[in-house]
Structure 1
Amino acid sequence: MESNLILHKLNRIEKHIFALKPILNVEELADYTGFKKSYIYKLVHENLIPFSKPNGKILFFDRKKIDEFLLQNATKSKDEIEREAIEFSLKKK
């Protein structure tokens, strides 16, 4: 039981280390995003995700660009929308 807990904690630490790396490979990206590797390859094939392929074989991903990709098409919260509506209405007066 204790060894399982240790392994679980080590896996969590490893995932946090990936978050600190500036460049990720496919396996690391899968761990970082929770996407399956097959889905990552599909995104690459359709040029929907930013990637680099410097030697023509191995895929690399810039973590900062991946973060931007993951956060695109964000939806505003109800509070943000209400705040913007109030600000807009105050500017109109």
Structure 2
Amino acid sequence: MENPFESIIERLDRIEKLLVSLVPTEAAMTNAHFNKEILTLKELCSYLELSASHVYKLTSQNEIPFTKRSKRIYFVKKDIDDWLKKYRQTTKDEIETMAANYTIRNPLKW
């Protein structure tokens, strides 16, 4: 005779697996905005790993590119990526190369 509890446990396991497959994981939800062209505030905060208040501060000071429609703000992902690239820090090797090129082009005149 089959144990009824084993049958219940098996059915619960199947139901749990189905539910897990239906509910998007946090990673899937986080990666969903990487493929979008236009981001909401919440998606941008997740993408940049910034707080909403910091993003609001950046928009109020016009430091970050954004679009406003009614009372909502949106961000074009390409503009945000370009904005991030604009603040790229040069490496030590790049600075040394730039300095060497400058001294070659502008020799000291005695």
TM-score grouping bracket, smaller chain normalisation: 0.7 to 0.9
Distance 1:92 1:39 in 2: 43
Match of 2:94 among 72, 80, 83: 80
By percentage of residues, which structure has more strand?
2
TM-score by length of 1: 0.74
1:27 paired with 2:47, answer no
**Rg comparison, structure with higher value:** 2
Which fold has the larger relative contact order, with Cα–Cα distance below 8 Å and residues 6 or more apart in sequence?
1
One-letter code of the match for 2:27?
R
Counting matched residue pairs gives 84
TM-score by length of 2: 0.64
Unmatched segments (≥5 aa) in structure 1: 1-5
Structure 1 vs Structure 2 CA RMSD = 2.0
**Structure 1 vs Structure 2: percent identity of aligned residues?**
32
Q: Which contiguous aligned blocks of 4+ residues in structure 1 show a shift greater than 4 angstroms?
A: none
Match of 1:53 among 65, 68, 79: 68
